[in-house]
Amino acid sequence: MLSQGFVSAASIAASVLFILSLGGLSNQEKAKRAVWYGIVGMAIAVGFTAFASGIGGYGWMLPMVLIGAVIGVSVAKKVKMTEMPQLVAALHSFVGLAAVFVGLNADLERRRVMAVQLIGDTGERFSAFAALVATKTPAELTFLQVEVVLGVFIGAVTFTGSVIAFGKLAGKIDGKPRQLPGGHLLNAGAAILALLLAILYVNGAGIWTVLLLALLALFIGYHLIMGIGGADMPVVVSMLNSYSGWAAAAIGFTLSNDLLIVTGALVGSSGAILSYIMCKAMNRNFIHVILGGFGGSQGPAAEIEGEQVAIDAGGVASALNDAESVIIVPGYGMAVAQAQNSVSELVRKLRDADKEVRFGIHPVAGRLPGHMNVLLAEAKVPYDIVLEMDEINADFASTDVVIVIGSNDIVNPAAEEDPNSPIAGMPVLKVWEAKQVFVSKRGQGTGYSGIENPLFFKDNTRMFYGDAKSSVDSLLPLLD
């Protein structure tokens, strides 16, 4: 067994590696190294925690670690980039459920210690956690109860919220916002009742209070995320990431595990900051989004005039051959078609012809922050031509050709032109200001949020129907 000194030193080392990992992920060139920092940090955290003094049950622990590792490797090898958002949501649910189980077990251990102390049985063998509980003062035991309540509540909300987010992202649940009759009042009522149960629990009521509190929290997580529309799902995933971090931190306080506290705080704060940044980029109020106030229409939508006009590969290639400047706007459709390598080849051919080619990336393009950046980096697209919305939006008016590949809501002019649109006020890429716009799209359906896009009906827009990869591939032999 390892001494507490070794475990504390390992915790500090792992915490530093986690911080370096988060910091490195802000830069595409450093991201691979940052991921390795996280991997090594987690290996240190798991290893030194498992073999710390007072830890036992290896007959159960080691097989479970092995089974989990095999499942993790298998899933990582099979999952596609398009499925990463729902995978992240699923992993968040595991953290939430773990927090609930740890909280309930901690209360059972607390009650067992109190019962043993009451009857004066000095021969009772305690687990490492129970032995720690036995040394706590009455005030410290009260704090332990508060930690249990927080861990169970946040964990339960995270669990069901993440399950619903997974369903919406995977297309197994309708992406439209839906709430039970009573809407936000149901959530508020459940939260107030959970608070009353928490007060009863801290004041000596039975474990039934924690169980009921967990059930109420499970309902809140379900109803909260069901009430959030598909256009907000990238923010939801980030927000649930924050919840999972706070749940982990609560577990850390319960178990007196410094590493869990630090790691949970890092995940919780970074997730909250990212959610805030994304809401700011979408011109949305953070609290409004969380409460499910965005995603439904606010009145009759504006009528769309005109028709969608199709074009073939020859027409698009001709326009590209004549153009001097091109901006490509990728979206979830590019990810679905796995078209990033074809797009990279298209960029190479256009740049070889001395054309200016750049990418415009919306902060919430795809279904996970940074989704498009990762795909383009994977296809070896030069970092310096991949620009964020604020860097490129003013250049569309002077651009000859814009190619939209599988994007919908992030290039929707209704955000600026229709005050009744569900995305009214959301900053979007102003692709319609370019001389010509070609939209690569599988069909005439709406985007993930279910909102019709007037861009597709504008006079300078042509619809290049078909699978994104096949469509881009058909352009390559036609370029000069």
User: How long is the chain?
Assistant: 480
CATH architecture of 313-478: 3-Layer(aba) Sandwich (3.40)
Nearest Cα neighbor of 302 from 418, 199, 396, 221 is 418
pLDDT of 297 over the 70 cut: no
Q: How confident is the model at residue 1 (pLDDT cuts 50, 70, 90)?
A: low
| Angstrom distance (rounded) from CA 87 to CA 148 | 27
DSSP state of 283: T
Question: What are the structure tokens assigned to 362, written together?
Answer: 């919306």
Q: Give the pLDDT confidence score for residue 296 in this predicted structure.
A: 46
Mean pLDDT is lowest, of 173-182, 237-246, 371-380, 425-434, for 173-182
385-408 pLDDT, tens digit per residue, is: 999 998 999 999 999 999 999 888
DSSP state of 300: P
17-34 pLDDT, tens digit per residue, is: 999 998 887 766 777 889
The catalytic residue positions are: 409
- Report whether 221 contacts 290 (CB < 8 A): no
- Report whether 54 contacts 130 (CB < 8 A): no
| Angstrom distance (rounded) from CA 18 to CA 245 | 13
pTM of the model: 0.77
SS3 228: coil
What residues form DSSP beta bridges with 329? 404
Mean pLDDT is lowest, of 161-170, 269-278, 343-352, 440-449, for 440-449
DSSP state of 231: G
Q: How confident is the model at residue 295 (pLDDT cuts 50, 70, 90)?
A: very low
Q: Give the pLDDT confidence score for residue 291 in this predicted structure.
A: 65
Average pLDDT, the chain: 85
SS3 457: helix
Percent of the chain with pLDDT over 70: 89
SS3 305: coil
In order, the DSSP letters of 173-236 are: S--S----TTTHHHHHHHHHHHHHHHHHHHTT--THHHHHHHHHHHHHHHHHHHTS-GGGHHHH
186-214 pLDDT, tens digit per residue, is: 888 999 999 999 999 999 888 999 999 99
Extents of the domains making up the chain: 1-78, 81-290, 313-478
Q: How confident is the model at residue 377 (pLDDT cuts 50, 70, 90)?
A: confident
- Report whether 157 contacts 240 (CB < 8 A): no
